[in-house]
Each structure stands twice: as structure tokens, then as C-alpha cells.
């Protein structure tokens, strides 16, 4: 799987994230402070990673900033992206399962190496729900990208 990864700071957890994804066999496309010469501002690098998901260059993305909030907000401004800020494995599982999230947002401050692995395990193990209500909610969010909510 091709995964776009952005971080506004070259922090140990961001480097650990890239290494962990590669060790799991993923191709990693880096942005921000993880790629020399790229714009490291959280809004710009999170947008860049999210756009790769939206245009199909990447299958998923992981966006990081100090709290994870700004990265999540920026990524969610890209149509077609459903970014979820996850601080634990249960939230990561639910984000993939019920929200069909395609971008994982992480806090560089709160995420330790062991917690990162738990979150990634849950994220990659979960599949989008086929439940009618869950699919309708995801479809509703997609219509918000188009500026309408009616079917």
C-alpha cells in the first residue's frame, strides 16, 4: 500500500512512523519536515499528504503535528478525505470501521512508539463497515464535500 506521511516536525515518533510503515511493507511518500526542501508548516504538509489520497497517488495517509488537531483539520479540508485524530487503538479501529477514514492524524506529543504500533495495528486490521447506516453517514459526508447534503 502507498501511504503519504506528513509531519511538521522531525520528531522521533514521526521517524518511527515512517520506519514502522516501511517495515510493514508499505511504500511511504513523505511530506513536510520528513522530506528535505518541502514546506514543513502543518497546514501545507498535511494538505499535501491528503491530496495524494484524494487524487489516488496514495491509498491512505498519516498526518502529524504537535497535537494532531491542526493536521486533522487541514487534511479534512481536502474533498474526499476523511481524516481522524486517533490517540488510541480503539479510536483508530472505530475511525476505519464506522467512518471509513482514509487519513490517520496523530499527535507527536501524545504518541509513544508502543502506542503508535497499537494504533497502526488497529487501523490496518479494521475494515469499513457494510452496515447501511454507517455507509449512509459516510455518503452524507461525501455530499458535504460537494456542498450539498440531500441524496
**pTM across the whole model:** 0.95
In this predicted model, what pLDDT tens digit does every residue of 44-85 receive, in sequence order? 999 999 999 999 999 999 999 999 999 999 999 999 999 999
The whole-angstrom distance between residue 82's C-alpha and the CA centroid of its chain comes to: 8
pLDDT of residue 147: 81
Class of domain 2-145 as given by CATH = alpha beta
Query: What is the percent of the chain where pLDDT is above 70?
Result: 98
pLDDT of residue 88: 98
Q: Which residues are identified as catalytic?
A: 65
Contact 53, 59 (CB under 8 A): yes
d(CA 121, CA 106): 14
d(CA 130, CA 18): 30
Give the relative orientation of helices 89-99 and 132-145 as an angle to the nearest 10 degrees.
80
Amino acid at each position: 500500500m502507498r501511504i503519504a506521511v506528513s509531519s511538521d516536525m522531525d520528531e522521533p515518533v514521526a521517524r518511527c512512523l515512517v520506519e514502522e510503515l516501511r517495515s510493514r511493507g508499505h511504500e511511504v511518500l513523505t511530506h513536510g519536515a520528513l522530506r528535505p526542501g518541502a514546506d514543513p508548516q502543518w497546514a501545507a504538509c498535511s494538505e499535501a499528504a491528503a491530496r495524494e489520497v484524494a487524487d489516488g497517488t496514495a491509498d491512505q495517509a498519516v498526518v502529524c503535528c504537535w497535537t494532531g488537531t491542526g493536521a486533522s483539520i487541514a487534511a479534512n479540508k481536502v474533498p474526499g478525505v476523511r481524516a481522524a485524530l486517533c490517540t488510541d487503538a480503539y479510536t483508530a479501529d472505530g475511525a476505519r470501521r464506522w467512518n471509513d477514514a482514509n487519513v490517520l492524524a496523530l499527535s507527536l506529543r501524545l504518541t509513544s512508539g508502543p502506542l503508535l504500533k497499537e494504533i497502526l495495528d488497529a487501523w490496518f486490521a479494521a475494515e469499513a463497515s457494510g452496515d447501511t447506516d454507517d455507509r449512509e453517514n459516510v455518503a452524507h459526508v461525501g455530499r458535504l464535500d460537494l456542498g450539498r447534503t440531500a441524496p
